[in-house]
Structure 1
């Protein structure tokens, strides 16, 4: 190698070093507290090494010594400077008050390679997001939920019958063991299939049927799936180059084929079921009518953008509710007094309703509501929320700092860490449903509890999800007592590979046949 090449190489290395050093000193140079990053990976090493779950990772960032007592702290997601919010007032500003400047998620999938993953209202960007959200909202009105309820309860009764048919492993104490998360996913898959699509998935009797198998593939986290979701949430601009997908190819083919078939059959028959398929058909007709009238600036509801909304409702609907239901079973198994109080509430409500599970009966379960809100505090479906500054004008962080958020900067809200902050929830690792009694809820610091998100981007299906979870638990508790087994962990371990909150190794419990007699 000639001397000239050596000098050139040295110059290039020095230049690269200076450039990287300058890049990763972004927060120090503008006088903002930062958590010191590593080059290339930024502050994500604790997530990438799979030593801790994403919830525990975000908890550690939130509680880092450099972040202590700060309303926000500077971090790097790989190469990109980002903000981690810590103060509830700042959370309010970003999520609600100044929503117009932070209306998009930073995360995204590939619009072309993953149409069903990228075009649903979770990942859609404005103005498409606003248009689709507005059109979908009627599906979740109180009147629609009232019409849906008999279908939900029909699956709930099937769950009860399924459990009563299980062979007992021990005749003396009349019990059998199970993995709770899978049981709950079978139940919620059947609910979503019948309520949204008018299809009998029969997952409880056929656990490896097409609906459950394809739904499972979306949230079954291998190393590859962990890498896919890491890029979706933290390096979304690179997702198309790697061909990564939120919805795997096989699931995409099955769900697209199924939903298009059901839509076509529904249009052919003219039948109305007041379900999601009816709403999607209305979307498509409005687009066709606009085209026929020569209207050119109306949002186009055709093809995959219709299917994508149905896919999100299916995947998010079964996964979040089944996880909440399974985590609730785990906490009830560990605390006999809380479970006894809940079962007594269920028994009294069933007596009042003549043994029928009705919407009025479900909505009367005040203690169950408290139990589920506490479960969602400890196990929020997403451990963090993400936003991107989208406005052309800058957004100040006053009165906390004179820094203004530039367009394109990611902002992260550590909801799990806020839920676990003893400043807001004393003894945060203790399961205490009383935190959410009507009286105690008035004492909560606003914007510290967000299992369903906050503001206009909050979960559109929150009420539906709570109803199906309650129906599942009522039908489980009316004839069974939940206890721990030899395989039940003393403390819940969360899955490091899953970007959403999942148990590591499943939730193994024991059910004891113990009818409430109603």
Structure 2
């Protein structure tokens, strides 16, 4: 009797395992059944096995997927994140349909948030639907060029501290190379701490209480959020009132205010730090580009002085930053989720509601069809003439459409002033201690170098 039971158990177990294997394989053939090309998935892990075991960076993984789909199909294809099917458009025309023209079908990112139990998850990037539309509309006035301009003095003060730190470092290190990523990370934290708030939920509450009680004014991001909370709008006035004095319905709760500060820190710190670091890396490797940039900076600052307006006159600096963001976009891909059934234009494919979509930012940026010799660093790709020759949705470091990064202006300001200040004051070159070619860090979602970037720095 016991032998019969054992054999029954073994047979049942094998049946369950076999059924599970067939079910997984069925799930991982979803795109074949839809009639479009799919990347051959690893069993259970899908196409992200290298990322899961931290053997391959996120950007490199999706770049390889992009190249295969572009070669095999040319328009779009499918992949799997474990067992979940993801749709990847590689045609810029389809990407434009999804992110701009038919945005209402793909409004949400499909990422986690729980505003009640996890207040800091209720950031603009995560929230969905009408709630997102309302908050985006309320926050947009805090990121206009005029409001960013008001923060210029704060950013400039931090950048002057950066120059002083570099000068002190090269004088004490006796011409030894500098870990530039470490220096720039400290600078970026300084910027965020000065332009946003002093850190996180309880401290945000204390900061809010103090400013409301004393009516302390500082032209920073926190002041603009307090205006939304207590005045119901953003103005150029210094007043914020106290919460119990306001006659307006608050547009932000305290938890929502703290959440936006949190994303300001997270998005602003790492993305700007990596952009500045990669820009300096490329300028150190390309001395002719560095000297051309230095000439522009010297000429404009000596002629017009150092101000927000003069920084905006530096057209070659703009090209350098744009090319850096092309070659090293901070976020190598972004995602959307279909909130209704959607037919891809000029194709037979229909996406079901709930289908995940991944936009291959790095793949587009490294496509030789749009950027010949894509590994070459060439700021002239962003001359007005060159930009006019490329189709839309081929430069996507901040996303595209209504859900593009709301803080892009501030991020560009931070990157430009840092690079301009360093190149204005220092000659930089790449140290032999820097391991080439650069490897990307497989342990982070941000496009970041795995190893240190060592630069030789000398006072101009």
Tell me the TM-score normalised to structure 1 length.
Answer: 0.81
> Structure 1: 5+ residue runs without aligned partners?
200-253
**Equivalents in 1 of 2:250, 2:338: separation in Å?**
24
Contact preservation (8 Å) 1:35, 1:67: no
Partner secondary structure for residue 200 of structure 2: helix
CA displacement at 1:286 relative to structure 2: 6.0
Q: CA deviation digits over 1:495-515, x for unaligned, max 9?
A: 11111101112221111111x
CA displacement at 1:352 relative to structure 2: 0.5
2:193 matched to which residue of 1? 193
- Give the counterpart of 1:311 among 262, 268, 272: 262
1:423 matched to which residue of 2? 369
- Residue 277 (str. 1) matches residue 218 (str. 2): no
Q: Structure 1 residues 454 and 512, CA, compared in 2 at 3 Å: closer, same or farther? A: same
- Residue 332 (str. 1) matches residue 278 (str. 2): no
CA displacement at 1:448 relative to structure 2: 1.3
CA displacement at 1:113 relative to structure 2: 5.8
2:138 matched to which residue of 1? 135
- Residue 162 (str. 1) matches residue 169 (str. 2): no
2:313 matched to which residue of 1? 364
**Equivalents in 2 of 1:263, 1:105: separation in Å?**
30
- Residue 148 (str. 1) matches residue 151 (str. 2): yes
Q: Structure 1 residues 178 and 110, CA, compared in 2 at 3 Å: closer, same or farther? A: farther
Contact preservation (8 Å) 1:385, 1:414: yes
Please show how residues 250-261 of structure 1 align to structure 2 within 5 Å: 254-261=199-206
Partner secondary structure for residue 86 of structure 2: strand
Q: CA deviation digits over 1:9-64, x for unaligned, max 9?
A: 34333332332232222122232211122232111113223222111101111112
- Residue 79 (str. 1) matches residue 30 (str. 2): no
CA displacement at 1:481 relative to structure 2: 0.5
**Equivalents in 2 of 1:85, 1:312: separation in Å?**
28
CA displacement at 1:165 relative to structure 2: 2.5
Partner secondary structure for residue 329 of structure 2: coil
2:421 matched to which residue of 1? 475
CA displacement at 1:442 relative to structure 2: 0.9
- Residue 96 (str. 1) matches residue 42 (str. 2): no
**Equivalents in 2 of 1:485, 1:57: separation in Å?**
29
**Equivalents in 2 of 1:151, 1:289: separation in Å?**
26
CA displacement at 1:105 relative to structure 2: 0.6
CA displacement at 1:65 relative to structure 2: 6.4
CA displacement at 1:170 relative to structure 2: 7.7
- Give the counterpart of 1:54 among 52, 58, 64: 58
2:344 matched to which residue of 1? 397
Contact preservation (8 Å) 1:131, 1:299: no
Contact preservation (8 Å) 2:170, 2:176: yes
Q: Structure 1 residues 29 and 176, CA, compared in 2 at 3 Å: closer, same or farther? A: same
- Root mean square deviation of aligned Cα: 2.4
> Structure 2: 5+ residue runs without aligned partners?
233-241
Contact preservation (8 Å) 2:272, 2:414: yes
- Give the counterpart of 2:324 among 368, 372, 375: 375
**Equivalents in 2 of 1:6, 1:144: separation in Å?**
69
